[in-house]
Amino acid sequence: MKILVINSGSSSLKYTLFEMAHEKVLFSGTVDRIGLSGTTHEFRVGLNGEDETRLVDVTDHGEALDEILSTLTNGPLDSLDELPAVAHRVGHGGKYKEAVPVNSDVVREIRRMTPMIPLHHPAMIKEIEECQIRMPDALHVAVFDTSFHRTIPDYAAIYGLPYRYFAERGYRKTGFHGHSHQYVSGKVSEFMQQNIRDLKIISCHLGNGASVTAIDGGRSVDTTLGMTAVEGLIMGTRSGDVDPGLMPIIMKEDSLSPDQTIDMLYRESGLLGISGLSRDMREVEAAALKGNDRATLALSAFCHKARRSIGSMLMVLGGCDALIFTGGIGNNSSTVRFKILEGTAKLGFVMDDAKNNGQERTTPESPVLDISHPESGIRIFVVRTFEELMMARECLNVLKIVREQKQ
């Protein structure tokens, strides 16, 4: 059985086609710079096929979807009828705690949650609607970044606001990156040959978006991202934690509207805002290495916030068996990993510098790399995440339930 997973960004459309019998990747790709000059479609056959890239004339997500479906039906698929279900990544599930078939109520709830995740939801809604038009016979399943964090207890999720916002409006920490945190913690459990129910794990998803999650027995019990996708760590263009009392002051001083303030927090802050150079950690690191003071400050602030969050999660868990680095930065930046864990040996974190800086890298076949020193009381891992596989599994489960209900 084949499942198509689609992950829509504001100017990109990523996709992965799975054969679920063996959880095998048949085809994957990304249409990038949608609506901009130089739109590209990069794709590959299988998990390790060579990338092919071509320029495409695509002005919106509907045309990007046409490009993708045409490529699939001229390659691994004879017909779209081979796809019984499509998984659509959705940032915020709102009242929905787990993956569900898409209907008008689900789309309405996703739209209602758009203020909580304004960078992502408009494109996600557009992609779902366009896909339903082109594949009316397939089961469309919404899979939510927030689902994994539904186990966070109320005392960890509630904000210190008047209780009515929690009780009546449901304003609480919901977290994101759930598929990533769930996948990497499961892979580490397998690597350690220990039941995940017996493990306390801190997972650091560090990329353009970033979060740290405490996982106790396979369940998320706390995380740094909140009800919105701007709380917590410093990110590529997002501010992370800011003194809430400062925001109305800035709004008054700079005559900013609420929408302008949101734009500043989401698009003009983070690594880009501090460094004045880039949201890309690779460029920030390179500039810091050349002595750029603002780049150095951005790098140090990013690592400090991550370091502080790991310490918080260590206390939440009351101990830790494994620390995971994942995401584009976590997986690829030995500098960031070193700066985060520097001087933490007394807490149990002892990294093997040779392994951290060595040539060995995670691969799709070997997604887990142990960079712990033999004397480390807490195992330290770099793990290549695979969010799409988690989404495909959730989609398949929903498909099975729907089919059983029809029998």
> Has residue 118 been placed in a domain?
yes
Q: Is 104 exposed, middle or buried (0-12, 13-18, 19+ CB in 10 A)?
A: exposed
pLDDT of the residue at 359: 86
Q: Which of 145, 216, 222, 321 is catalytic?
A: 145
Tokens read off for 62: 């509907």
Q: What H or E segment, with its residue span, contains residue 193?
A: none
Closest Cα to residue 88, out of 140, 32, 163? 140
Tens digit of pLDDT for each residue in 267-307?
A: 999 999 999 999 999 999 999 999 999 999 999 999 999 99
What parts of the chain have a pLDDT lower than 70? none
pLDDT of the residue at 373: 98
Same domain, 274 and 359: yes
Cα–Cα distance between 138 and 132 in angstroms, integer? 8
Taking residue 38's Cβ as centre, other Cβ atoms within 10 Å add up to 8
pLDDT of the residue at 234: 99
Residue ranges of the annotated binding site for substrate are 89
> Has residue 398 been placed in a domain?
no
> Has residue 341 been placed in a domain?
yes
Cα–Cα distance between 84 and 403 in angstroms, integer? 11
Same domain, 303 and 361: yes
Cα–Cα distance between 335 and 332 in angstroms, integer? 9
Task: Say which CATH number the domain at 338 has.
Answer: 3.30.420.40
Same domain, 95 and 242: no
Tens digit of pLDDT for each residue in 66-87?
A: 999 999 999 999 999 999 999 9
> Has residue 272 been placed in a domain?
yes
Cα–Cα distance between 38 and 25 in angstroms, integer? 27
Task: Give CA separation, 118 vs 41, 100, 210, 222, in Å.
Answer: 25, 22, 16, 23
Same domain, 247 and 349: yes
pLDDT of the residue at 406: 85
Cα–Cα distance between 323 and 383 in angstroms, integer? 10
Same domain, 24 and 132: yes
Helices (H), 87-162: 104-112, 121-134, 154-157
Residue 306 is part of which domain span?
193-387
Same domain, 114 and 230: no
Q: Is 222 exposed, middle or buried (0-12, 13-18, 19+ CB in 10 A)?
A: buried
Residue found under tokens 């829509």: 8
Residue ranges of the annotated binding site for ATP are 14, 205-209, 280-282
Q: How many domains does the chain have?
A: 2
| Residue 32 among the catalytic residues | no
Residue ranges of the annotated binding site for Mg(2+) are 7, 387
Q: What H or E segment, with its residue span, contains residue 407?
A: none
Same domain, 261 and 337: yes
Write phi, then psi, for 53 (nearest 5 degrees).
-135, 135
pLDDT of the residue at 291: 98
> Has residue 115 been placed in a domain?
yes
Same domain, 26 and 122: yes
Residue ranges of the annotated binding site are 7, 14, 89, 205-209, 280-282, 387
DSSP assignment, residue 51? P
> Has residue 185 been placed in a domain?
no
pLDDT of the residue at 47: 77
> Has residue 84 been placed in a domain?
yes
* CA dihedral for 306, 312, 315, 317, sign (positive or negative): negative
Q: Is 373 exposed, middle or buried (0-12, 13-18, 19+ CB in 10 A)?
A: middle
Q: Who's near 306: CB < 8 A, 6+ residues apart?
A: 204, 206, 210, 212, 233, 336, 340
Same domain, 93 and 9: yes
**Any idea of the CA torsion for 106, 112, 113, 116, to the nearest 10 degrees?**
170
pLDDT of the residue at 247: 97
